[in-house]
A and B are shown apart, each in its own frame.
Chain A
């Protein structure tokens, strides 16, 4: 079950208000566009990072965590933004912008602005995806999703949802060699 983990729940109030507004708008848009109230095919947790919207299937999300401190890790590729302390343990934080575009600039801004982390993956293999803002939960109906032309097979993002939401395929993300590679010790 997905839950919001935060010791400082007050900091969530603004987010919740913001989310509620967005959800209301979306609900209105969806209601006007559809006359039949069919069940959604899936639900996405939607978050913003820079100018991009990303969505993670709700069932793949273990927890959404509010970042209090990110422990930097020296001598690792920049896709690994650091470690997040979560419930007495820790999870590796992934800089999705760096991950998707290895040459991307503006890393510092993204990291400084990242206030949330969406933790995905099975137990023991969790990864925390850094997010600037949590936009809410988006219901996805048949026909809402389209494939990204030219996306390679097995790419972590190969589909777009409504409003250009880039849908993250969590198993594909975790299968990326950069996240489970081993190399000989230097």
Chain B
């Protein structure tokens, strides 16, 4: 029998998945070979030999000769080390790991029907051959026999009752399912949920119709004769019977839908080791690159969690591990002076406690110096010297989570750019999780992540604002209630709602959503509110109505809307309406901003600051606000244009060089629109040549100022001149 090309490709795809799994295991074993005690080397070499042989055999069957040759060489090299009963050196591990990379790349190329998939493998094969020839012990027939004897002894140990387990039998009980197919099943689960919600609503509607008919019949009994009234009553009863059936159908469907969702959730659960094991390799590679000697120890890899949670925390954990290597762990020489072992032990601990997955990344490095953090924070204008003085060590440590904050003396590809720890925290918060850090100078730093074991249940709070329904995930809603005017007071950042646990800012949700200050719902003396929290901040959102809980099947928004962080997606509700689902992590900053703006003079003029430098933006804002202006901020010209279309703006201050749309292009576009022909636009830039200035004015700017020559006070004066 011969295989058709589509059958062959299917076999290749299966082989590719098999190799992916084997190579992950081999990668861990190669790393273990570097550090394992002599008595464990035998079993490691034995497992590696089986894995390499599996790949070699299948490669031969599939006529993948380049792969068969490379795995044959790998087998030869491993035999030499096994014979010598010695761990492999780090340089050899580099080559062996590179072999795995090339094998995976080769199979991807084969599946992509690349004309010469094996061309890349030549380099690594030459390195492999050089190693084989450079290794003193060459395997001979006698040596092979010795190895076989040793492995046979190991195998008989493993077969002893209660000791070994036939993993191949165990593995056969599993079926490979691609994540894409699981996503499709999730979609079906969502559709089932939606259908159930709709049927429930139809039942409610039918019962109401039946009751209304009954009422009409009773009220209009004089109009209808007894026979007609009886018929109408019968119809009303039939409608109510349909309503009852619909309710029962909905209950049955609810059972099926919940069973299906439970089964799907069970399918989504994976051992944490699937995520954790690849970290060993990544840590080793990164540490070698930056000259740190470190081994990653993993504890608790056998716990299980939702695949989507594991995928979502992979990036943050990797970032924290890199952070420990780049900033925490001292180079070997420094460790020697501190009387620490030359080789650092980086620990990754995983456990499940009360349905929460706890991951700790623990290094034994230098720890974080709060004084150093204070100095850097002052240097970078993150805090003033007075603020720094009054901060506790714990508050100072919290600075590491701020955007743009880094203590790295130098910038590497992965660290020192001040990008990362804030993103780590954001990612974890999005999972309704929590991350914190503790440190002890000279002894090390511990990062702790806590996330749910499974994706959060999708229950939402249905609210209304300006006649439109919105959903808030129930997991972020702390309290709902009615505003008691006696509990309101004015604070620096706007209105506050007093409660036992402390005051929280209170903002009409209509204002937070629209970005325009709005009063509390006028029709209600005690309007409803809900306090929402993103684990860091809380805000009380005043709404028109709270309609109760609703199940949600959140569908993501199109990519064109991803930048609007106050929107998480959309979900259908029971009556079939599509409702926006709000994201409190984006909504809270909007609410706090608008609360602050509303607290300001309502008659103030509005200035839009378009500037890609965070510090310049904040500097201008503080000076403009101090001068009584409302300030809107944008970090590039496109965002500036968006804001100008949404808000009434009296003047614009813009930088010239910015990503996406620069200040010149933004000015040109505005001047083409009649609404913005007279809008004062002040370009403030570091580009100071005559040509630059000419270009700025030709684009349509009213004034062109040079940053180095203009103080914020002078800028405010210029704005004042235009807005008098």
Query: Considering the chains assembled together, what is the distance between the CA atoms of A32 and B232 in angstroms?
Result: 62
Q: Which of A145-186 contact B (CB under 8 A)?
A: 177-186
Stretch of A9-17, A18-26, A52-60, A82-90 with 4 or more beta carbons under 8 angstroms from chain B: A82-90
Query: Considering the chains assembled together, what is the distance between the CA atoms of A72 and B580 in angstroms?
Result: 8
Asked if A90 and B635 sit within 8 Å, CB to CB, the answer is: no
Scan B267-281; emit 1 where CB is below 8 A from any A CB, else 0. Answer: 000000000000000
Q: Chain A residues near B186 (CB, 8 Å)? A: none
Stretch of B120-128, B286-294, B560-568 with 4 or more beta carbons under 8 angstroms from chain A: B560-568
* Known contacts A75-B513, A75-B564: A177-B660 contact under CB 8 Å: yes
Query: Considering the chains assembled together, what is the distance between the CA atoms of A88 and B635 in angstroms?
Result: 36
Scan B557-583; emit 1 where CB is below 8 A from any A CB, else 0. Answer: 111111111110010100011111000
* Known contacts A75-B590, A90-B570: A125-B558 contact under CB 8 Å: yes
Query: Considering the chains assembled together, what is the distance between the CA atoms of A23 and B194 in angstroms?
Result: 40
Q: How many residues of B contact A (CB 8 A)?
A: 47
Q: Chain B residues near A89 (CB, 8 Å)? A: 555
* Known contacts A92-B560, A102-B673, A126-B558: A77-B194 contact under CB 8 Å: no
Asked if A85 and B590 sit within 8 Å, CB to CB, the answer is: no
Write the chain B residue with the least CB distance to A179: B560
Asked if A78 and B577 sit within 8 Å, CB to CB, the answer is: no
Asked if A186 and B563 sit within 8 Å, CB to CB, the answer is: no
Tell me if B238 is interfacial: C-beta within 8 Å of chain A. Answer: no
Q: Chain A residues near B465 (CB, 8 Å)? A: 74
Write the chain A residue with the least CB distance to B190: A88
* Known contacts A74-B514, A76-B561, A89-B555: A183-B572 contact under CB 8 Å: no
Q: Which of B463-520 contact A (CB under 8 A)?
A: 465, 468, 513-515
Tell me if B713 is interfacial: C-beta within 8 Å of chain A. Answer: no
Q: Which of A38-71 contact B (CB under 8 A)?
A: 69, 71
Q: Chain A residues near B579 (CB, 8 Å)? A: 71
Asked if A181 and B638 sit within 8 Å, CB to CB, the answer is: yes
Q: Which of B168-194 contact A (CB under 8 A)?
A: 191, 194
Asked if A83 and B563 sit within 8 Å, CB to CB, the answer is: no
Query: Considering the chains assembled together, what is the distance between the CA atoms of A127 and B561 in angstroms?
Result: 11
Asked if A183 and B567 sit within 8 Å, CB to CB, the answer is: no
> A184: which of B564, B593, B635 is its contact (CB, 8 Å)?
B635
Query: Considering the chains assembled together, what is the distance between the CA atoms of A47 and B72 in angstroms?
Result: 66
**Smallest CB–CB gap between B403 and chain A, Å?**
8
Q: Chain A residues near B636 (CB, 8 Å)? A: 183
Q: Chain A residues near B559 (CB, 8 Å)? A: 125, 180
Asked if B513 and A183 sit within 8 Å, CB to CB, the answer is: no
* Known contacts A71-B570, A186-B590: A92-B194 contact under CB 8 Å: no
Asked if A102 and B641 sit within 8 Å, CB to CB, the answer is: yes
- Residue of A74, A77, A125 with highest tally of chain B CB at under 10 A: A74
- Residue of A98, A102, A178, A182 with highest tally of chain B CB at under 10 A: A102
Q: Chain B residues near A96 (CB, 8 Å)? A: none
Query: Considering the chains assembled together, what is the distance between the CA atoms of A107 and B675 in angstroms?
Result: 15
Q: Looking at chain A, what size class is its interface with the partner chain?
A: 35 or more
Asked if A73 and B578 sit within 8 Å, CB to CB, the answer is: no
Q: Chain B residues near A101 (CB, 8 Å)? A: 673
**Smallest CB–CB gap between A148 and chain B, Å?**
16
Write the chain B residue with the least CB distance to A105: B675
Tell me if B389 is interfacial: C-beta within 8 Å of chain A. Answer: no
Asked if B645 and A83 sit within 8 Å, CB to CB, the answer is: no
- Residue of B191, B560, B562 with highest tally of chain A CB at under 10 A: B560
Q: Chain A residues near B468 (CB, 8 Å)? A: 71-72, 74
Q: Chain B residues near A91 (CB, 8 Å)? A: 558
**Smallest CB–CB gap between A76 and chain B, Å?**
5
DSSP class of A's interface residues: helix, strand, loop or mixed?
loop
Q: Chain A residues near B586 (CB, 8 Å)? A: 185-186
Scan B695-714; emit 1 where CB is below 8 A from any A CB, else 0. Answer: 00000000000000000000
Write the chain A residue with the least CB distance to B593: A186
Tell me if B114 is interfacial: C-beta within 8 Å of chain A. Answer: no
Scan A100-131; emit 1 where CB is below 8 A from any B CB, else 0. Answer: 01110000000000000000000001110000
Asked if B563 and A183 sit within 8 Å, CB to CB, the answer is: yes
Asked if A182 and B646 sit within 8 Å, CB to CB, the answer is: no
**Smallest CB–CB gap between A125 and chain B, Å?**
7
Q: Chain A residues near B566 (CB, 8 Å)? A: 74-75
Q: Chain A residues near B585 (CB, 8 Å)? A: 185
Tell me if B642 is interfacial: C-beta within 8 Å of chain A. Answer: yes
Query: Considering the chains assembled together, what is the distance between the CA atoms of A79 and B564 in angstroms?
Result: 14
Write the chain A residue with the least CB distance to B677: A103
Scan B126-169; emit 1 where CB is below 8 A from any A CB, else 0. Answer: 00000000000000000000000000000000000000000000
Asked if B589 and A186 sit within 8 Å, CB to CB, the answer is: yes
Asked if B558 and A186 sit within 8 Å, CB to CB, the answer is: no
Q: Chain A residues near B191 (CB, 8 Å)? A: 88
Query: Considering the chains assembled together, what is the distance between the CA atoms of A83 and B633 in angstroms?
Result: 27
**Smallest CB–CB gap between B658 and chain A, Å?**
12
Q: Chain B residues near A79 (CB, 8 Å)? A: 645
Tell me if B383 is interfacial: C-beta within 8 Å of chain A. Answer: no
* Known contacts A69-B578, A72-B468, A126-B558: A181-B673 contact under CB 8 Å: no
Query: Considering the chains assembled together, what is the distance between the CA atoms of A85 and B570 in angstroms?
Result: 10
Q: Which of B216-249 contact A (CB under 8 A)?
A: none
Tell me if B639 is interfacial: C-beta within 8 Å of chain A. Answer: yes
Q: Chain A residues near B565 (CB, 8 Å)? A: 185-186
Write the chain A residue with the least CB distance to B467: A72
Write the chain B residue with the least CB distance to A78: B645
> B676: which of A92, A103, A182 is its contact (CB, 8 Å)?
A103
Asked if A92 and B563 sit within 8 Å, CB to CB, the answer is: no
> B578: which of A75, A83, A177, A186 is its contact (CB, 8 Å)?
A83
Write the chain B residue with the least CB distance to A121: B558
Query: Considering the chains assembled together, what is the distance between the CA atoms of A90 and B581 in angstroms?
Result: 13
**Smallest CB–CB gap between B510 and chain A, Å?**
8
Q: Chain B residues near A103 (CB, 8 Å)? A: 673-676
Query: Considering the chains assembled together, what is the distance between the CA atoms of A158 and B478 in angstroms?
Result: 53
Q: Chain B residues near A76 (CB, 8 Å)? A: 561, 564, 567
Tell me if B378 is interfacial: C-beta within 8 Å of chain A. Answer: no
Asked if A182 and B562 sit within 8 Å, CB to CB, the answer is: yes
* Known contacts A71-B579, A85-B578, A186-B589: A77-B645 contact under CB 8 Å: yes
Write the chain B residue with the least CB distance to A68: B576
Tell me if B213 is interfacial: C-beta within 8 Å of chain A. Answer: no
- Residue of A75, A177, A178 with highest tally of chain B CB at under 10 A: A75
**Smallest CB–CB gap between A119 and chain B, Å?**
11
Query: Considering the chains assembled together, what is the distance between the CA atoms of A80 and B562 in angstroms?
Result: 13
Asked if B660 and A181 sit within 8 Å, CB to CB, the answer is: yes
Tell me if B661 is interfacial: C-beta within 8 Å of chain A. Answer: yes
Q: Chain A residues near B589 (CB, 8 Å)? A: 185-186
Listed A/B pairs (29) with beta-carbon separation below 8 Å? A71-B570, A71-B580, A73-B561, A74-B468, A75-B515, A75-B566, A75-B567, A77-B645, A77-B646, A78-B646, A83-B578, A85-B572, A85-B578, A88-B572, A90-B570, A91-B558, A98-B645, A102-B641, A102-B645, A102-B673, A103-B674, A177-B660, A177-B661, A178-B560, A178-B638, A182-B562, A183-B635, A185-B426, A186-B633
Q: Given A91-B558, A103-B675, A186-B586, output 7 extra A-B contacts at Cβ < 8 Å.
A: A72-B468, A75-B566, A76-B561, A77-B645, A83-B570, A85-B572, A184-B635
Q: Which 4 A-B pairs have the closest CB atoms?
A: A74-B513, A103-B675, A103-B673, A185-B565
Q: B interface vs A, CB < 8 Å?
A: 191, 194, 426, 465, 468, 513-515, 555, 557-567, 570, 572, 576-580, 585-586, 589-590, 593, 633, 635-636, 638-639, 641-642, 645-646, 660-661, 673-676
